[in-house]
């Protein structure tokens, strides 16, 4: 890339990315102690990817998504997934109109900009498939009609690691459609003290003024496509991905027989897309290996499938990913 074009992309970023800091600042005032969660949700949204959140109840997952939707002036739907749910409850259905003698389309809650799919692993496989198909195709078919979903379209699905009874775990092939799998952890002691103090007085989420429009988000997504990726960074990403498929070829002999399935090409694409979005939030026109390392675990943790032997040794994808980043050489 020429110096001129890099300057051009930097100018575009400085013109379009001012809202990022404002969004972060406002969200951090309301949601205390979850700075990284907020950063990564914004990166996922700007990279036009969907996010799977895993964490115990009460960690402000729902509040984070509600606040984000209000600050962007978009429609928000929270859908509580249950074992008796049907695809029609999510997508919509045809209803017979006695007056006209025809079927009218009744659209479901999926027709929104930001969707919080709460406890996605509590619903049967056919409902999960309906959601994941809508996520992938960004369109829904009801009867004979196909409807495009509004842009921006972001699905944040939550699953609870505690309650395993009465759940339907997401198949690996479907989990692969999420750009990120974020582990939402407990806040630190100092942050929890702030949460305690803040919640003794009521903060009305309805009082928030939007700081950015959906059109600004769509424009930002277009600018992100043009962010520069050096060939050395591409090689770094390919080395990481190929190390999950054939560890022996990348000086990871100790991981031979531990990984059942390595990361798919979708992981390669999502690493670059997410790194570009991260560079954008840092107001940069190029990505660095540090961007890859920042989002690497979130892109890979649900894509690296371990063998039974690895699980017997109580190894987790986190251990494998940590080892990957230690061994694979940074350019």
Give the pLDDT confidence of 302-318 residue by residue, as tens digits.
Answer: 998 888 888 888 888 88
Q: Are 90 and 49 in contact (CB under 8 A)?
A: no
Mean pLDDT, residues 178-196: 85
Q: Is the N-terminal amide bond of 279 cis, ω within 30° of 0?
A: no
Specify which of 31-35, 261-265, 297-301 reaches the highest per-range mean pLDDT.
297-301
- The greatest distance separating any two alpha carbons of the chain, rounded to the nearest whole angstrom, comes to 72
CATH number for the domain formed by residue range(s) 228-327: 1.10.8.80
Angle at 47 between CA 42 and CA 50, to 5 degrees: 75
Residues ≥6 apart with Cβ < 8 Å to 113 = 69, 72, 74, 75, 76, 150, 151, 152, 153, 154, 214
Question: Percent of the chain, pLDDT > 90?
Answer: 40
Token readout for 328 is 């694979």
**Chain segment 124-152, per-residue pLDDT in tens:** 888 988 888 888 889 998 888 889 998 89
pTM: 0.89
User: What is the residue-wise DSSP string for 234-284?
Assistant: HHHHHHHHHHHH-GGGGT-GGGTTTEEE---HHHHHHHHHHHHHHHHHTT-
Beta-sheet pairing, 154-159 with 114-118? parallel
CB 51 within 8 A of CB 156: yes
For the chain, give every domain's residue range.
19-202+211-220, 228-327
> In sequence order, which residues have a C-beta less than 8 Å from that of residue 319 and are 6 or more positions away?
none
**Rounded Cα distance, 85 and 74, in Å:** 26
Residue among 328, 283, 276, 325 at smallest CA distance from 300: 325
Instruction: CATH number for 19-202+211-220: choose from 3.40.50.11060, 3.40.50.300, 3.40.50.720, 3.40.50.150.
Output: 3.40.50.300
């Amino acid at each position: 890339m020429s110096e001129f074009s890099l300057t051009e992309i930097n100018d575009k970023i400085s013109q379009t990315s001012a809202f990022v800091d404002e969004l972060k600042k406002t969200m951090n005032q309301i949601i205390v102690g979850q700075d990284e969660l907020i950063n990564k949700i914004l990166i996922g949204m700007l990279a036009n990817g969907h996010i799977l959140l895993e964490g115990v109840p009460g960690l402000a997952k729902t509040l984070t998504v509600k606040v984000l939707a209000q600050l962007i002036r978009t429609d928000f739907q929270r859908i509580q997934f249950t074992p008796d749910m049907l695809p029609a409850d999510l997508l919509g259905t045809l209803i017979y109109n006695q007056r006209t003698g025809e079927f009218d389309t009744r659209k479901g809650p999926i027709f929104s900009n930001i969707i919080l799919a709460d406890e996605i692993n509590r619903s049967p496989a056919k409902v999960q498939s309906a959601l994941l198909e809508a996520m992938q195709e960004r369109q829904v078919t009801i009867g004979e009609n196909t409807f495009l979903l509004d842009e921006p379209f972001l699905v944040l699905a939550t699953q609870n690691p505690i309650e395993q009874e009465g759940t339907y775990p997401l198949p690996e092939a479907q989990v692969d459609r999420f750009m990120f799998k974020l582990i939402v952890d407990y806040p630190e002691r100092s942050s929890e003290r702030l949460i305690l103090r803040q919640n003794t007085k009521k903060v009305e989420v309805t009082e928030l003024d939007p700081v950015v429009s959906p059109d600004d988000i769509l424009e930002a997504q277009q600018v992100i496509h043009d962010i520069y990726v050096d060939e050395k960074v591409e090689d770094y990403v390919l080395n990481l991905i190929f190390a999950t498929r054939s560890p022996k070829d990348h000086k990871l002999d100790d991981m031979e027989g531990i990984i059942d399935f390595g990361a798919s090409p979708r992981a390669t694409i999502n690493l670059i897309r997410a790194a570009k979005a991260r560079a954008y939030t840092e107001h940069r026109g190029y990505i660095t290996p540090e961007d890859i390392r920042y989002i690497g675990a979130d892109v890979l943790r649900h894509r690296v499938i371990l063998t039974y032997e690895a699980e017997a040794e109580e190894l987790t994808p986190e251990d494998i990913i940590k080892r990957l980043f230690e061994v694979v050489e940074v350019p």
